[in-house]
Every structure is written in C-alpha cells, then in structure tokens.
C-alpha cells in the first residue's frame, strides 16, 4: 500500500504541473492582446495610428519627428510600464486613401488615437470617424473651417491659419495701407482664412479691393493673365496665401509681369514663410526679394539645437535617397503633439481596458458599423483638451479646449537667398522690434516698430500701397457748371480744342494740392451741368457720379454732409463751415419813439411787472397788521401795494417797515431791482450810442411767424435744411448769382422779393463783401463741415490729399487765393461777416434772480402764516363750523394787531367790572387817544423809512 502510494504521488505531481502549465499558457494567450508585450519588454501598450502624406517633404519631416518623439516617450515610460506602439499609414495626397487608412486603423488595429492627417479635406472625414468611435484625432490641419467646438474628439495640433490674420493686419496698419489684394488658393486651404483676414483688415479701416483665386491646376498663362489684371488696378499691396509649389510659380510670373519692382508690397502667410526652404532658391533670389512674411516664432534653445542634430541624422537614415530638407515648425508641432499624447496616456494609466467595445449584433454590419467604440478614448480626450508643455521644442505648447493656443509671430523680410527677422507680433503688445522670452530679449531693437526693411525693386522706402495704373488713364475729375458764384468754381470749355479749364478757389486749391503731392497724379476735368431749374440734377447727383464710378473725384463747392458720406469719402474741408442768414439793414433805431422799450424783451417786461406786484402784496401782508402806514380804506391799501413795490424801482419808498420778515424780503428784492436797472441802463446806452447797423429781422423764427419769403442758392442742400426748420416750401425761392440775391432782398417779400437769404458762410461772406452797407448777417450759425473734395469710398487718395490740404491751408497760397477771388474784406468799414443778434435782454438772463426773489418772498409768507395760525390757535380749537372758523380768522387777519389786543383786555375787564351807561370805548370815542401804552408812545425809528413819519389814518365812527 505504501508502495502504491509512492507510485501514485509522482503521477499526481506531474498532473498538477501539467494543469498549471496549461493554465499559464492560456492566461498568457489571453493577456497578450491586452498587455501588448513584445520581445524586449512587457507592459501595457497603447496603439496609435499615424496618417501622413509621405510623398510630401512636410510629411517626411513630421514622420521623423514622430519617431524621435516615440523613442523619447517610451524611454521615459519604464517606470509606468506603458508604451505607445505606432501604426503608420500613407494617405498619398488622396482623401479616399486617408479615409481608408483611418477605417483600417480603427477597425483592424483598434488604435486608441490617431495623429493626422495633414490635409484639411482628409481630416474633415477622419474627425467624424473619431467622434463616432470616440477616438481622439490629433491633426496638424490648419483650416479654420475645421471647428474644434463642433467635434469633441478633435485636437488641433497646429495653429489655425486664422490666428495670423491680426499679425498681417498689424503690418498693414503700420504702413497705413488702406486697400489690399488677397491672392489665395482655391479649396479648404484658401477659403478658410478669407473671412477672418477680411474682418481683421476692416478693424483697421482697410478694405480688400480685390480677391484673386488661384487654382492649383492653373497653368502659367492663366496665372500671368490674372496678374496683368491686378496690375491695372490701383492697389499695390498683395497678401499671398498659397502653398509653396503654387506660390513659387506665382512669384516667377509676377516678376515677369513687372510686379516685383519698386512701389509694390508683398506679404506671405505663415505656411509659405515656414516652408520657405522648400521653395527653389533661384526663385527666391530672382523673384521674391523684399517680400514680407509672418510665421510662428520658435525660440532657439539648447534643446532645439540638440534635437535638430538628432533629427538630421535620423532623417538621413529614414530617407537616404532624397535631398536633405530643413526641420520646420510642423515637425516640431508633431513632436510636441506626440509628447502631449504620451503624457495623457501616462495620466490615464491602465484604468481602462485598451480594447474597443463591439456592436451588440454582428449581422449585416458594414465596416463603419463594425468599428465599435473605444473606452480609453474618452479618458484620453478629457486629458488632452486642456494640457500644456512649457518646455516644448516649438515653445510654449499649450492646448486649451482642444485648440493649440497662439504663440508670438515673427515678421521676416526676404533678402538674398534667405530671410531676416525684422520684428515680432503678439496679441498683447502688437508689433514690436523685440520679444522678451523668459526675461531675455529675443532680438536686437532700435526703438522702432520694425527693423530696416528691404522692399521689391531694391527700395528702402515703404510703398504707399497704390498708384495710378500704368495704362496712361487719367483721374476723371467732375466739376459743376453753373451760372453764379463763379468765384468758387468756374468752368470754361474750348469747343475747338475740346479742353476743359476750371478756375476759382476750389479748382486752384485742388491744383495746388496735386502739385504738392510727392508723386505725379494726372487728371482731367469733366463738366457736370447744374442748370437753374428745380427739377434738374443738383450737387447730390454730382456726388453720386463718384459712387457709380463715372467720376474718380469731384472738385467744386461741394459741402461735406453725413448723407453724402455714406457712399463717398471726403477730404478735409478747405473752407469755413456753417449756415446763416443775411437780411437788409433798417434805419437807425435811435430815431425810434419807443426805443426805451427795446432793452428788455416782452417776456422780461411782463415778469418784472408781475414780480413788482407780487412783492408789494407780500409786504402788505407782512405789515398791514402791525404798521399803521399800511392800513386804512381798501382803496388806499391797494394803492399802497402798487406804490410801495414800484417805488423800489428808483429806491423812493418812504414807508417805514417794522417786520423782520419784510426787511428780509426787501433786502433781496432791492438787490434784484439794482441788477435789473443796471442792465436796462447798459443796454439802452448801447443802443443809443454804439449800434449803427440794425437788421430788419434778428431771429429766423420771425421769418416763419411773419410768413416771409426766404431765398437760397439753386442746387444747394440748404433747401432741405430749411424744410427741416419748418419753413413752408411755398415760401422758398432759389437764386443763382449775387446780383439775384441783391435784387430780391431790395424788393422785400411784399414786392415779389424775399426777406432773407439763408446760405453757407462762404457764399454769404462773398455777398457781404460786395454789398457791405446794405445787408448784415443775423441769427445763430448752424454748423456744417465746409467744402471738401469727393473721392470713392475707401480711396487711398483721401489721406494724402487731406494732408496736402493742411499744408496748403497753412501756407501763403490760401491767403493769396482768397484775396484774388474775394478781395480785401477790410475795404468795407462795417464788419459784415460778424453775425448780429438781438440786443434786447431776455428772461433767461434773470431767471436765477427771479427764482431767488420768489423763494424769499414765498418763504416769508409761509413763516408769517404759520406764526399767525399759532397765535390764533384758540379759534381753530373751538367747536364752531369751518366756515365760522375761517370767518373769525379772516376778521382777526384784517384787524390791526394792537387793536385786537386792546379789545381782548376790555372784554376781560367787562367780565370783572359792572357795566355803566357812561363807559366809553374806542368805538364810541374815536377822537380820544388810546389808553394803551403802546398807542401813546411813538415807536422808535426803524426799517426802510424817511425822517417824516406817516400820518395815522382816522376811521369814521360807525
């Protein structure tokens, strides 16, 4: 038995060992797809798909950078045991190949993330797959049409092309270019940037005058034809957004068309600037000199220098059969993007099984339906949408909300066979010649926004951005032809020579301005008839000819108006501005019988009289109970009210006042009277001694009230202004010459003429200079912007012309021109140009004084009545009716205060003493002096009074 047991024991051990071996082997085969072990090491593996265009230099550069990034990431991931396994697929520049590669990687390999594709059109479909399978797609596609917000599993691993638009706009603003031409490539790459670039330029008041679409399949003749078309335009600033191969063809043809010469400015976008080494050096040397470019700034660090050496070595190993290329920013972004992915994978760890969750059914499934969903992808995208690498090779590599955040842009100038840095741009500081990175200055600075720039044509002067086309076309300048006011613009037409000559102040100023420009600007005058007919075309029609491009400009006496500026641009004005009125001068008012009433306006006379009566009433109320001089018959008290108040006008009041409230009121009122009389005296003196010319009308509203006819210049906008001022259209009459103005004003409204001329100040100055003794300018001046030259909306000529106008205005030419056409204004003894307004004083000047006087008097009345009611409160507390109480109060108010006191004493005495038939009272013995001590003694002299006391009033016996 023991022997049997000994024989069975080895067999059991063998069976146990065999079962353990089978279990381990089965477990190994089960775990291997999950753990991803290879021959060298064991640990968790994460499959990542790589889709690149390996037929392009950029794709090969990015591929090499990705391989180095994976090596570095896997080398530092030993402690976590997580390795990234790449699966590379070539899209072969084809959208279908890219989509097929993505489906293969997701379905067969079950990758947990995809880097790529490069092209925006390829990425558009792949990110839809990533959203469906919940796998992050990290793409270097730059088209803004790929919206990160709409694709939650899309991470943009490169700067979108829209991020450079503000940097380009800043360059345009620096050189004050007002119009640009945008040359872009058709398709997603080109159209994506266009709306963002247009908006950025509009923010600096620069317009895109023309958009040129260049197809990648366009031949050289088509490109040359398009360039010749742009050459015939005025704009000389071109923004080029093309890929390198198409761009070098464009610049070769631009050089052939003579568009790389002096006066032209070219700006290339970041893609072309960053990949400039891929352009043929001979093209750069011959056809791209002086071009400006922008590209993302990459700080030159020791890490980048060492990495560049490694990259060149590895690139030669991977692509030994091709010419060497340079490392670019897209390769650095690829390296940093893979590094960010590895960092996210490390953060996620092995918390999720790196396998896809298959669909519930497998019947009749397409490739897309059979993809399933990734459980690890949701964790990865959560980590990657907001992650940063402060020490990235490309600089501050920071992803926020799935978008790579903008970095500083470097501005370069192409010189020779390479480029030279001339400045930087950041969202915070704008353009600067220096950039501080980690406390260090990234470039030398000479205190300018941009360094010295080399322009096309070997010029060192910045192009002005436009010029007249080389076809010999002249600037078509419209000039108004009219019958009168030819001092401003006079047009003569030589029918034999077919020549148009324009003279006058407006034409002479324009000619002088053109001569002062730093460049030649050929022009020709084209007449525009403005006949003396209300239904004929006026100045608005002339201005509209510029908007419709029939004229390139308009020169004449054209007023700058807001309504016109909606469709044209004006230069700065070259004349004074404003609208006013001219009326005939009437006879000297010093001969007027009623001139003494003119110093004060009617409303001021009425207000003053009302306040005199009001103050007299207040004084009577305050004094009549305590002052004998304010008592007596009713007619005397009414007369006293008027007498006392109006006597203060000449300070002749002789009555004594006893109440402190009265004194308070009179102090304020006497001051008001003093101001009124002084102002009246000064105004009347001015009318009698100084004023010599008086207008028939001083206020435009009087024209409307009196129904006067009003004249204006034919074709002027003043007609619309008069209608807006509520003038009746039937009362408006138009005239063309100064002589017509004079004749109409001389006849007057009643004799078929007019009562006033309303026109712009330049015309009125001209009219008054000729008829200085007959008419005068009146009323307020309604502001306008003056005369200016008209140009199309957004014309680059406007800033230069405006600056030249300022120079002409400040020089001697303007004074000589005014003297030549308008004569010497000092020849007229009277200053006709000075607007005359009414000399009468208005109520507005004294509102404050009347307010103070009214508040003072009202306050005194209120205090008086409060004290009076308090003293007679026993009447208010009785049980009598309200009518009886009011009657008793009124009776007490009318009675003299001292008399009321005596009556109360007598009533009290009557209650304590027997009544006798011989008892006398003040009523029965009016001639006897009162027994009251206050009545027998004369009060002391006080208040406003003279040395003669008033006579007491004796009432008849009743």
Of the ranges 58-67, 73-82, 350-359, 459-468, which one carries the lowest mean pLDDT score?
350-359
Tell me the average pLDDT across 458-485. 80
Q: CA-CA distance, 661 to 929, in Å (whole number)?
A: 30
Q: So what's the pLDDT on residue 70? A: 92
Confidence bin at 831 (pLDDT 50/70/90): very low
For residues 187 and 283, membership in a common domain is answered with yes
518 is a domain residue: yes
157 Cβ partners below 8 Å, 6+ apart? 115, 138, 139, 140, 333, 334, 336, 337, 404
Q: Which domain holds residue 634?
A: 590-689
Tell me the average pLDDT across 932-957. 40
Angle at CA 514, nearest 5°, toward 510 and 516? 115
End-of-domain residue from the set 663, 689, 715: 689
Confidence bin at 747 (pLDDT 50/70/90): confident
Q: For residue 504, is it left (φ>0), alpha (ψ between -120 and 50) or beta?
A: left
> Is 80 exceeded by the pLDDT of residue 718?
yes
Tell me the average pLDDT across 416-427. 90
594 Cβ partners below 8 Å, 6+ apart? none
Confidence bin at 693 (pLDDT 50/70/90): low
End-of-domain residue from the set 630, 663, 689: 689
For residues 487 and 551, membership in a common domain is answered with yes
Q: Of 221-230, 531-540, 868-877, where does the model show the most confidence? A: 221-230
CATH number at residue 812: 3.40.190.10
Predicted confidence (pLDDT) per residue in 271-314, tens digit = 999 999 989 999 999 999 999 999 999 998 999 999 999 999 99
Cβ–Cβ under 8 Å, residues 354 and 157: no
Give the β-pairing of 154-156 and 775-782: unpaired
Confidence bin at 702 (pLDDT 50/70/90): confident
> Is 50 exceeded by the pLDDT of residue 519?
yes
Give the β-pairing of 265-268 and 237-241: parallel
Tell me the average pLDDT across 695-707. 78
Predicted confidence (pLDDT) per residue in 373-401, tens digit = 888 888 889 889 898 887 889 988 999 99
> Is 70 exceeded by the pLDDT of residue 944?
no
Q: CA-CA distance, 448 to 450, in Å (whole number)?
A: 5
End-of-domain residue from the set 689, 722, 744: 689
1 is a domain residue: no
H or E element at residue 792: strand 790-792
315 is a domain residue: no
Total of domains in the chain: 5
633 is a domain residue: yes
450 is a domain residue: no
Predicted confidence (pLDDT) per residue in 576-602, tens digit = 878 888 888 765 555 566 777 777 878
Q: So what's the pLDDT on residue 24? A: 41
Range list of β-strands (E), 360-458: 373-374, 386-392, 395-400, 403-404, 409-415, 418-426, 430-432, 436-437, 440-441
Q: CA-CA distance, 812 to 818, in Å (whole number)?
A: 10
827 is a domain residue: no
Q: So what's the pLDDT on residue 67? A: 94
Tell me the average pLDDT across 82-88. 89
For residues 172 and 291, membership in a common domain is answered with yes
Pair of tokens at residue 577: 């501005």
399 Cβ partners below 8 Å, 6+ apart? 155, 340, 384, 385, 386, 387, 388, 405
> Is 80 exceeded by the pLDDT of residue 320?
yes
Q: Sign of the C-alpha dihedral, residues 830, 508, 467, 539?
A: positive
Average pLDDT, the chain: 79
Confidence bin at 748 (pLDDT 50/70/90): confident
For residues 209 and 264, membership in a common domain is answered with yes
For residues 613 and 685, membership in a common domain is answered with yes
Q: What is the DSSP string of 703-761?
A: HHHTT--EEEETT-THHHHHHHTT--GGGEEEE-SHHHHHHHHHH-GGGTS-SEEEEEH
For residues 176 and 290, membership in a common domain is answered with yes
Of the ranges 207-221, 571-585, 617-631, which one carries the lowest mean pLDDT score?
617-631
For residues 64 and 189, membership in a common domain is answered with no
372 is a domain residue: yes
pTM of the prediction?
0.60
For residues 173 and 290, membership in a common domain is answered with yes
Confidence bin at 940 (pLDDT 50/70/90): very low
Using alpha carbons, select from 359, 261, 405, 235 the residue that is nearest to residue 792: 235
Predicted confidence (pLDDT) per residue in 840-893, tens digit = 777 777 888 888 888 888 888 888 888 878 887 787 777 778 788 788 877 777
CATH number at residue 335: 3.40.50.2300
Confidence bin at 924 (pLDDT 50/70/90): very low
> Is 60 exceeded by the pLDDT of residue 428?
yes
For residues 295 and 177, membership in a common domain is answered with yes
Q: So what's the pLDDT on residue 874? A: 80
Cβ–Cβ under 8 Å, residues 97 and 47: no
Tell me the average pLDDT across 532-548. 76
For residues 488 and 425, membership in a common domain is answered with no
For residues 284 and 418, membership in a common domain is answered with yes
Q: So what's the pLDDT on residue 842? A: 77
624 is a domain residue: yes
Q: So what's the pLDDT on residue 17? A: 46
Pair of tokens at residue 913: 């003493």
In a 10 Å sphere around its CB, with 0-12 CB exposed, 13-18 middle and 19+ buried, how is residue 857 labelled? buried
For residues 290 and 190, membership in a common domain is answered with yes
């Amino acid at each position: 038995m023991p022997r049997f047991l000994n024989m069975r024991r080895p067999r059991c051990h063998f069976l146990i060992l065999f079962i353990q071996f089978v279990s381990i082997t089965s477990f190994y085969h089960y775990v291997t797809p999950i753990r991803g072990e290879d021959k060298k090491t064991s640990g968790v593996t994460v499959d990542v798909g790589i889709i690149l265009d390996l037929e392009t230099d950029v794709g090969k550069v990015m591929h090499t950078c990705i391989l180095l990034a994976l090596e570095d990431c896997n080398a530092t991931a030993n402690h976590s045991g997580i390795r990234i396994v790449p699966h590379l697929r070539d899209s072969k520049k084809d959208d279908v190949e890219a989509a097929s590669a993505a489906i293969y990687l997701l379905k067969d390999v079950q990758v947990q993330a995809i880097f790529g594709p490069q092209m925006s059109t390829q990425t558009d479909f792949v990110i839809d797959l990533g959203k469906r399978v919940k796998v992050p797609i990290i793409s270097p596609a730059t088209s803004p049409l790929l919206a990160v917000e709409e694709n939650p599993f899309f991470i943009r691993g490169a700067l979108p092309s829209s991020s450079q638009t503000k940097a380009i706009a800043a360059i345009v603003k620096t050189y004050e270019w007002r119009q640009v031409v945008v040359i872009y490539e058709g398709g997603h790459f080109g159209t994506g940037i266009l709306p963002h670039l247009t908006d950025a330029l509009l923010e600096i008041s620069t317009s895109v005058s023309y958009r040129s679409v260049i197809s990648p399949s366009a031949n050289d003749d088509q490109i040359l034809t398009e360039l010749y078309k742009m050459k015939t335009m005025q704009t000389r600033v071109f923004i080029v957004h093309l890929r390198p191969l198409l761009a070098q063809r464009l610049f070769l043809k631009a050089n052939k068309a003579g568009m790389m010469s002096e006066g032209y400015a070219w700006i290339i976008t970041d893609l072309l600037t960053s990949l400039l080494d891929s352009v043929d050096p001979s093209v750069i040397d011959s056809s791209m000199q002086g071009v400006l470019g922008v590209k993302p700034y990459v700080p030159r660090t020791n890490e980048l220098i060492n990495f560049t050496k490694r990259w060149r070595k590895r690139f030669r190993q991977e692509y030994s059969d091709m010419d060497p290329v340079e490392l670019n920013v897209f390769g650095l972004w690829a390296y940093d993007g893979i590094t960010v992915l590895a960092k996210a994978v490390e953060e996620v760890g092995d918390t999720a099984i790196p396998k896809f969750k298959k669909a519930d059914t497998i019947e009749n499934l397409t490739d897309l339906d059979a993809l399933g969903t990734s459980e690890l992808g949701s964790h990865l995208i959560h980590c990657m949408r907001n992650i940063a690498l402060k020490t990235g090779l490309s600089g501050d590599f920071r992803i926020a909300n799935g978008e790579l955040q903008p970095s500083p842009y470097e501005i370069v100038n192409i010189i020779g066979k390479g480029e030279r840095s001339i400045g930087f741009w950041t969202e915070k500081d704008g353009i600067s010649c220096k950039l501080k990175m980690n406390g260090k200055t990234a470039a030398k600075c000479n205190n300018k926004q941009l360094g010295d720039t080399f322009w096309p044509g070997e010029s060192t002067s910045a192009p002005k951005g436009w010029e007249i086309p080389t076809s010999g076309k002249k600037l078509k300048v419209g000039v108004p032809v009219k019958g009168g006011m030819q001092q401003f613009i006079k047009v003569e037409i030589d029918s034999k020579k077919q020549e148009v000559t324009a003279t006058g102040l407006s034409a002479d100023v324009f000619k002088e301005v053109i001569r002062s420009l730093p460049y030649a600007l050929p022009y020709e005058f084209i007449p525009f008839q403005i006949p003396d007919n209300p239904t004929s075309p006026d100045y608005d029609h002339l201005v509209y000819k510029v908007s419709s491009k029939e004229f390139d400009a308009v020169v004449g006496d054209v007023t700058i108006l807001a309504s016109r500026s909606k469709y044209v641009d004006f230069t700065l004005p070259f004349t004074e501005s404003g609208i006013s009125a001219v009326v005939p001068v009437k006879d000297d008012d010093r001969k007027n019988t009623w001139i003494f009433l003119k110093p004060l306006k009617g409303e001021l006379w009425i207000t003053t009289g009302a306040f005199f009566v009001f103050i007299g009433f207040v004084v009577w109320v305050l004094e009549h109970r305590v002052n004998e001089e304010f008592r007596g018959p009713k007619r005397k008290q009414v007369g006293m009210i008027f007498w006392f108040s109006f006597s203060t006008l000449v300070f002749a009041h002789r009555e004594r006042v006893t109440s402190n409230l009265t004194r308070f009121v009179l102090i304020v009122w006497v001051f008001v009277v003093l101001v009124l009389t002084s102002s009246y005296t000064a105004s009347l003196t001015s009318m009698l001694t100084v004023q010599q010319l008086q207008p028939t009308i001083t206020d435009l509203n009087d024209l409307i009230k009196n129904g006067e006819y009003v004249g204006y210049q034919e074709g002027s906008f003043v007609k619309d202004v008069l209608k807006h001022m509520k003038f009746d259209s039937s009362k408006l009459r138009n005239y063309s010459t100064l002589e017509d103005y004079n004749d109409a004003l001389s006849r007057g409204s009643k004799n078929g003429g007019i009562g006033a001329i309303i026109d712009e100040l330049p015309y009125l100055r001209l009219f008054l200079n000729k008829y200085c003794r007959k008419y005068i300018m009146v009323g307020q001046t309604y502001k306008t912007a003056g005369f200016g030259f008209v140009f199309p909306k957004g014309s680059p000529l406007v800033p230069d012309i405006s600056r030249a106008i300022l120079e002409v205005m400040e020089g001697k030419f303007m004074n000589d021109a005014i003297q030549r056409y308008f004569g010497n204004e000092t020849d007229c003894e009277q200053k006709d140009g000075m607007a005359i307004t009414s000399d009468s004083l208005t109520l507005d000047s004294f509102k404050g004084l009347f307010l103070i006087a009214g508040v003072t008097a009202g306050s005194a009345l209120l205090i008086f009545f409060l004290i009076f009611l308090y003293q007679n409160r026993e009447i208010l507390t009785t049980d009598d009716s309200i009518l009886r109480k009011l009657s008793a109060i009124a009776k007490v108010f009318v009675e003299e205060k001292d008399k009321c006191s005596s009556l109360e004493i007598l009533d009290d005495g009557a209650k304590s003493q027997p009544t006798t038939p011989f008892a006398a009272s003040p009523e029965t013995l009016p001639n006897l002096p009162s027994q009251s001590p206050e009545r027998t003694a004369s009060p002391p002299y006080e208040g406003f009074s003279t040395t003669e006391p008033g006579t007491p009033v004796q009432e008849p016996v009743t």
